Structure 1
Amino acid sequence: MARKKIGTEWQLRPTLALRPLDGDHARRELSEIADAAAEDGLSRLGKFLAGKGPLQDLLAAVFDLSSFLRDTARRRPAILDALFDETIEARLNGIDEAVDRAARAENVSETSLMMALRQFKAEAHFLVALADLSGEAETALTVRRLSDLADACTRAAVDFLLLDAHGQGKLRLPDPKDPARGSGWIVLGMGKLGAHELNFSSDIDLVVFFDPESPAVIDPLDATDLFSRLTRRLVRILQDRTEHGYVFRTDLRLRPDPGSTPLAIPVEAALRYYEARGQNWERAAMIKARPVAGDLAAGAAFLKELQPYVWRKYMDYAAIADVHSIKRQIHAHKGHGEIAVKGHNVKLGRGGIREIEFFVQTQQLIAGGRFPELRGRETVPMLGALAARGWITAEARDALTRQYWFLRRVEHAIQMVADEQTHILPEEDEELERIALMLGFAGEAEFAEAFRASLHQVERHYAALFETAPELSAGVGNLVFTGDVDDPDTLQTLHRLGFQRPSDICRVIRGWHFGRYRVTQSAEARERLTELAPALLKAFGQTRRADEAVIRFDEFLAGLPAGIQLFSLLQSNPALLKLMATIMGAAPRLAAIITRRPHVFDGLLDPALLTELPDRAYLSARLAAFIEGERAYEDVLDRLRIFASEQKFLIGVRLLAGSIDPARAGRAFSDLADLTIEAALNAVTAEFAQRHGRIAGGRVALLGMGKLGSRELTAGSDVDLILLYDHDADAEESDGEKSLAPSHYYSRMTQRLIAAVSAPTAEGVLYELDLRLRPSGNKGPVATHIDAFKKYQRQDAWTWEHMALARARAIGGDAELCTEVEEDVAAVLALPRDGANVKAEALEMRALIEKEKPPRDLWDIKLIPGGLIDLEFIAQVADITGNIEPGRRVTATADVLARLAPGFAAAGVRQELCEAWRLYLALTQMIRLCLTGEFQRDDVPPGLSDLLLAVTDLPDFGVLEAHLKETSRKVRKDFDLLLRAEAPISRD
Structure 2
Amino acid sequence: MEDVKMNAEQLHRTLRASQYAELVLGNHAVLLEQDYAVDQFLSPLSTTQIQNSVQICLHQITDETVWMREIRILRARLMFRWIWQDANQLTDVVTLTRELSDFADAAICAAKDFARIPLVAKHGEPIGYNGAMQNLIVIAMGKLGAQELNLSSDIDLIFAFDEQGETNGRKDIDVQQFCILWGQKLIYLLDHMTADGFVFRVDMRLRPWGDGSALAISHVALEKYLSQHGREWERYAWIKARIVTGGKEGVELLDMTRPFVFRKYVDYTAFEAMREMKAMIEREVLRRNIEDDIKLGAGGIREVEFIVQVFQLIYGGAKFELQDRQCLVSLHHLGEFGLLEVDAVTELEDAYLFLRRVEHAIQALNDQQTQSLPSEPDLRHRMIETLGFTDWEAFISFLNQKRAKVIYQFEHLIKEKEPDPLLESFSQLEKQLDNVLDASAKNLVHEFWHGHALKKLPAKAVQRLKTFWPHLIEAILQSNKPQIALLRLMPLVESVMRRTVYLVMLIESKGALQRLVKMATVSPWICEELTHYPVLLDEFLSMDFELPRRKDLEDSLRQQLLRIEIDQVEDQMRVLRLFKKSNVLAVAASDVLAESPLMKVSDALTDIAEVSVNATLNLAYQITAKKHGFPLDAEGNRCSVSHTAFAVVGYGKLGGIELGYGSDLDLVFIHYMSEQGDTDGLKKISGFEFAMRVGQKFMSLMTTQTLDGRVYEIDTRLRPSGEAGLLVTSLKAFEQYQLKSAWLWEHQALVRARSIAGEQSLREKFELLRCRILIQPREETKVRAEVLKMRQKMKDHLGSSKEQQKDGIFHLKQDAGGIVDIEFMAQYAVLAWSGSNPDLAHYSDNVRILEDAAKASCLSSDDATALIQAYLSERAESHRLALANQSMQVNAADWHDTRVIVCKLWQRLIDPTATICIG
TM-score normalized by structure 2?
A: 0.48
